[in-house]
Amino acid sequence: MEYYNYIKALHLIFVITWFAGLFYIPRLFIYQIEASGKEEPERSILIRQLKLMTRRLWFIITWPSAILASIFAITLLVMVPDWLQQSWMHVKLGFVVLLYAYHFKCHLIFKELQQDIIKWTSNQMRLWNEGSTLILFSVVFLVIVRDAINWIYGVAGIFVLALMLMLGIRIYKRIRAKDPDA
């Protein structure tokens, strides 16, 4: 237990950098999708640069952070095995599985865009971008609150957050329709 706080700090640091990558990678996907509709030579220049930025973010920050966050999480569970008996931890691990599913889907999108295969619109990608936000809110509130009575409020809060995010995306879409440079 002497190293518990160090392991916990490292886990949190890599969770933060993992989420930073997951927040930014769909944004780069959006830029690449939108760049594919531009005229040459702007199109080629933008796409080449965005592919490079995406590859670096994905393989230098996001993937290593996901792996290291998981290694430190497993280390914490080995150090404090009683957590595995608590229901909040089961739910948290469910969200971690969901986060990895989100991560793997981002990886598939990354591979497609690296090959110039575009299956998503920029608006669909904007909605997809909010998935990691919802998971982050869920996990943070779950870990901090942990109280069964507050689950009702937490679930309601996540739905309200999702609605607010979708409303924000719609408002932004209308603003962009009036001013494409917004």
Does 11 count as an annotated binding residue? yes
For the beta carbon of residue 23, count every other beta carbon within 10 angstroms: 15
Does 111 count as an annotated binding residue? no
- How many CA atoms lie within 13 Å of 90's alpha carbon, on the beta-carbon side? 3
- The answer to whether 65 touches 14, Cβ cutoff 8 Å, is yes
SS3 31: helix
Residue 175's contacts (CB-CB under 8 Å, 6 or more residues apart) are: 182
Q: Which two tokens stand for residue 28?
A: 């780069």
**Binding-site annotation, residues for heme:** 11, 92
**Binding-site annotation, residues:** 11, 92
